[in-house]
Structure 1
């Protein structure tokens, strides 16, 4: 279950309905997929091969196609990050820069945990969305944000894209952002 931490106040928001209501107020899509559909060996393997990634996409095919039909996604894939990922620190350095995209950034977490740090309304500032298996989030286009791993440093996520060139970030210099 996702949890929210408001960075300015350290307020924590828990419970699916409270999380969904808060994220909706910030124009962030939040949904749930059934994490138990995925065999445990795929939820806990952070060195997936192409065949295993295809199996994950097959297990969640109905959910993926539903999202694609509602929101115009054209392509999707599976990404895994862990301490065994080559160049993990380089990838995290890239992901951990505040940036925007020209399309929404959607992730369906199917294993492990991660955090999206998102800029909310001016009075709110930045907030963390702590995600785990079953959580689906879509950060709106042109919204300042970044992604990082949680302490376990392991995640498996389905990514969906409208643009066929995939993940393209535009760095943003935001003096209001302060690392935690």
Structure 2
């Protein structure tokens, strides 16, 4: 289950209802998928083949199509990052810059862990959303944020897009980021 850390106060928010309430106030969608549907070998393999990625998409087809019908997503894929990912540091440097998109950025975590750092309302500032398998999050369009890995440096996530070319990051220079 996701946990929140408000960066300027180090306040930690735990518990599914508290997390969901906080994220709703920040206009961030938070849902949960049943991770037990996914076989263990697909949850812990951070070097998935294309065929294994297709298996994950098939297992979560109903959940993906439900999100697509509600939110207008047209395409989806599976991304996996770990120490075995070529150019991992280069990718993380790209991800770890505050940016926005012209569409929401949604991730369904099915293996490993990751963190979205999101700019909230003025009274909140930036906050971390620590994600683990089963967590589904959608950062609203035009909201400054970035994504990175946690200490385990491993993640498998389903990504959904409205734009068929995927999203494009628009860097944000924010002196308030800490």
TM category (shorter chain) comes to: over 0.9
Three-state SS of the structure 2 residue aligned to 1:158 is strand
2:116–2:148 Cα contact (<8 Å) kept: yes
Who is 2:152 aligned against?
152
Aligned residues: CA RMSD: 0.4
Q: CA deviation at 1:167?
A: 2.8
2-side partners of 1:5 and 1:111: how far apart? 21
Displacement of 1:123 in angstroms is 1.2
3-state SS in 2 of match to 1:47: coil
1:3-42 equivalent positions in 2, closer than 5 A: 3-42=3-42
Give the structure-1-normalised TM-score.
Answer: 0.98
Distance 2:78 2:35 in 1: 15
Unaligned runs of 5+ in 2: none
TM-score by length of 2: 0.99
Deviation at residue 168 of structure 1 after TM alignment: 1.1
Does residue 129 in structure 1 map to residue 129 in structure 2?
yes
| In 2: Cα distance, 1:123 partner to 1:11 partner | 13
Within a 5 Å distance, the mapping from 1:80-95 to structure 2 comes to 80-95=80-95
What secondary structure does 2:128 align onto? Answer: strand
* 2:2 alignment counterpart: 2
Aligned residues: 178
Is the Cα–Cα contact under 8 Å of residues 103 and 167 in structure 2 kept in the other structure? no
Quote the residue 1:176 is aligned against: 176
Find out whether 1:63 has 2:57 as its counterpart: no
The CA distance in 2 between the partners of 1:18 and 1:86, in whole Å, is 38
Secondary structure of the 2:48 match is: coil
Kept in 1, the 8 Å contact 2:107–2:159? The answer is yes
Q: Secondary structure at the match of 2:76?
A: strand
Task: Deviation per CA, 1:69-93: give whole Å up to 9, x if none.
Answer: 0000000000000010000000000
In the TM superposition, structure 1's runs of 4+ consecutive aligned residues that sit over 4 Å from their partners are none
